[in-house]
Amino acid sequence: MDRIKKVQEAVGAILRNSLKEAERENGYKHLYGVSQACAILAMKRDENVELAMIAGLLHDIYTYKMQDSQEHAHKGSLLAKDILYSIGSFSNEEISTICQAKVRYPI
């Protein structure tokens, strides 16, 4: 199974366990939409498309899991790190890249 699919499955488990159906659908649309936008930006900038897509998938995972957006960027990066380590397919450098991803401007 490819690594993006593994992250999608981990994200799906969190959304299924944390949200009601209508909210879950919005969660999928938002996270998958941001993931696609990250892929486009990465292609445009000749960056790593896979890692960018994964950063997009995980960017609001703390908010969806905990129903709390306070300090969600920092807390989310810690949760994303746990998810990526548990998947076991990413190097420390890749996990660091994903968890520290930021959008640079201008787009």
To the nearest whole angstrom, how small is the minimum distance from the Cβ of residue 88 to Fe ion?
Answer: 26
| 49-81: burial string, b at 16+ Cβ within 10 Å, e else | bbbbbbbbbbbbbbbbbeeeeeebeebbbebbb
Taking the least distance from each CB to Fe ion, the nearer of 33 and 92 is 33
Point out which span in 10-18, 39-47, 58-66, 98-106 binds Fe ion (CB under 5 A): 58-66
To the nearest whole angstrom, how small is the minimum distance from the Cβ of residue 2 to Fe ion?
Answer: 24
To the nearest whole angstrom, how small is the minimum distance from the Cβ of residue 71 to Fe ion?
Answer: 14
Q: What CA–CA distance (Å, rounded) separates 4 from 53? A: 8
**Residues sharing a CB contact under 8 Å with residue 60, sequence separation 6 or more, in sequence order:** 30, 31, 34, 72, 76
To the nearest whole angstrom, how small is the minimum distance from the Cβ of residue 62 to Fe ion?
Answer: 11
Taking the least distance from each CB to Fe ion, the nearer of 26 and 89 is 26
By beta carbon distance, the residue nearest Fe ion is 60
Q: What is the DSSP letter of 17?
A: H
60 touches Fe ion (CB under 5 A): yes
Q: Which residues bind Fe ion (CB under 5 A)?
A: 60
